[in-house]
Amino acid sequence: MAAPLRHFLQFKDFSREELEHLFVRSGIIKARFKGYEPYHPLADRTLAMIFEKSSTRTRLSFEAGMHQLGGSAIYLNTRDTQLGRGEPVEDAAEVISRMVDIVMIRTFEQDIIERFAAHSRVPVINGLTNEYHPCQILADLFTYIEHRGPIQGKTVAWVGDSNNMCNTWLQAAEVLDFNVHVSTPPGYEVEAERAGLFGTDHFEAFADPMDACRDADLVTTDVWTSMGFEAENEARMKAFADWQVDAEMMRVARPDALFMHCLPAHRGEEVAAEVIDGVQSVVWDEAENRLHTQKALMEFLILGRVET
Ligand code: CP
Ligand code: NVA
């Protein structure tokens, strides 16, 4: 029997209890994979991946993950499909969702993926929009839990742009009950409505990034210029110059604080090489965990709760 139709378009689409289930499943699926134990619950299922922006990790982790679960994945990009020639996203959703079992989309405005999902017969996963990157935060949280245990009550310091990653950390803090200390340059502050927040209880803004990092359990950042905002690059380079995560910021965080970055990274811009390549950095685990957490996500969206 098919699972009831669910989508993962933003982090708060899932409850805390569902996320906890996903983290458990991620651990089981990861251990099986590491033990070379075949696990093919999605045999004969097909994933369509639609990319309107570049990707290394997202494409690879979804494509490899679907194969490892026994299914197949099809890569589509705007340039080679009728979407690039103006076919309405609603029509594309009607057609694509009659041919595959699940869809992953990386696109620009959140509205595009919401419209696709509204016309889809199958689950739709957000593989990054201008507003959110929920799959990355799923992997980041699983990575935190693997290294340090539950995140509830902990403090995450976000230094840099209030972009799709920042918004998703803020949503995750509300669902999983932890705190985010954000420091952005003036003019790049968090917009609560765009971030899709219920309130401000789990989020505090700091003018000085050192203050945001003080006593944090996790320090994280991302590129100063996200995909789609390249025209602003020069202005952003100037505005963000003092928002590089460096050894001094890591020193004021808790001694056991982790450093995360979703990658790709620019050493010498948003993060100093000694931090991203240092002992507190878990960036390679984060990248690997995209694979395991998204396998758990696809299992849940296609089959519902699997307990074995
Ligand atoms: N972190 C992330 O989503 O990487 P890609 O852009 O390479 O998919
Ligand atoms: N904020 C970045 C994340 C890349 C994975 C971007 O949107 O380009």
CA of 184 to the centre of ligand 2 (A): 16
Model confidence at 287, pLDDT cuts 50, 70, 90, reads very high
Tell me if 140 sits within 8 A of 165, measured CB to CB. no
CA of 223 to the centre of ligand 2 (A): 7
Q: How many degrees, rounded to 5, is the angle at CA 14 between CA 12 and CA 17?
A: 120
Looking at residue 308, its pLDDT comes to: 82
Measured between alpha carbons, how far is 133 from 137 in angstroms, rounded to an integer? 7
**C-alpha to C-alpha distance for 233 and 187, rounded to whole angstroms:** 15
What number is the average pLDDT over the span 71-86?
93
pLDDT at residue 198, as a whole number: 86
Q: Atom 4 (ligand 1): residue with closest C-alpha?
A: 57
* Alpha-carbon gap, residue 147 to 1, rounded angstroms: 36
Does ligand 1 have an atom closer than 6 angstroms to the CB of 181? no
Which of these is catalytic: 57, 133, 202, 292? Answer: 133
β-sheet bridge partners, residue 218: 156, 258
Q: Quick one: DSSP state of residue 4?
A: P
Rounded alpha-carbon distances, angstroms, from residue 265 to 49, 97, 158, 245, 270: 24, 34, 15, 12, 8
HSE (side-chain half, CA atoms, 13 Å) at 201? 10
**pLDDT tens digit sequence for 114-145:** 999 999 999 999 999 999 999 999 999 999 99
- Ligand 1 atom nearest residue 59's Cα: 8
Q: What's residue 231's pLDDT?
A: 98
Average pLDDT for the chain: 97
Q: Is the pTM of this model over 0.85?
A: yes
Give the Cα separation of 308 and 25 in Å (integer): 9
What pLDDT was estimated at residue 199?
A: 87
Q: Known catalytic residue: 222?
A: yes
Tell me if 287 CB under 6 Å of ligand 2.
no
Q: What percent of the chain has pLDDT over 70?
A: 99
> Which ligand is closest to the CA of 126, given by its number?
1
Q: Which residues contact 187 (CB under 8 A, 6 or more apart)?
A: 239
For residue 266, the ligand closest to its alpha carbon is: 2
User: Identical fold at 11-133+289-303 and 136-286?
Assistant: yes
Pick the catalytic residue from 7, 25, 290, 292: 290
pLDDT digits (tens, 9 = 90+) for 13-70: 999 999 999 999 999 999 999 999 999 999 999 999 999 999 999 999 999 999 999 9
Is residue 106 annotated as part of the catalytic site, yes or no? yes
Q: Which atom of ligand 1 is nearest to the CA of 227?
A: 6
Q: What are the extents of the domains in the chain?
A: 11-133+289-303, 136-286
Q: Which of 33, 1, 15 is nearest to 294 (CA)?
A: 33
Q: Is the CB of 57 under 6 A from ligand 1?
A: yes
SS3 91: helix
Tell me which of 50, 53, 57 to substitute to probe ligand 1's pocket, judged by most ligand atoms within 8 Å of the beta carbon. Answer: 57
What atom in ligand 1 is closest to the CA of residue 60?
8
Provide the β-strand partners of residue 219.
157, 259
Chain centroid, CA 118 distance in Å = 21
Predicted pLDDT of residue 3: 74
What is the pLDDT, as a whole number, of residue 2?
Answer: 66
What are the backbone dihedrals phi and psi of residue 278, each rounded to the nearest 5 degrees, phi first?
Answer: -90, 180
Nearest atom within ligand 2 for CA of residue 55: 5
Q: What is the pLDDT of residues 173-227, one digit of tens each?
A: 999 999 999 999 999 999 999 999 988 899 999 999 999 999 999 999 999 999 9
Give the sheet arrangement for strand 124-126, strand by strand: 72-77, 46-51, 102-106, 124-126
**End-to-end Cα distance, the chain:** 17
Query: With bands split at pLDDT 50, 70 and 90, how would you rate the model's confidence at 1?
Result: low
Which one is the CATH code of 136-286: 3.40.50.300, 3.30.70.580, 1.20.1600.10, 3.40.50.1370? Answer: 3.40.50.1370
133 among known catalytic residues: yes
| Overall average pLDDT of the 94-101 stretch | 98
Please tell me the predicted confidence (pLDDT) of residue 213: 98
The closest residue, in CA terms, to atom 1 on ligand 2 is 226
Question: In terms of CATH architecture, what is 11-133+289-303?
Answer: 3-Layer(aba) Sandwich (3.40)
Half-sphere exposure of 63 (CA within 13 A, CB side): 12
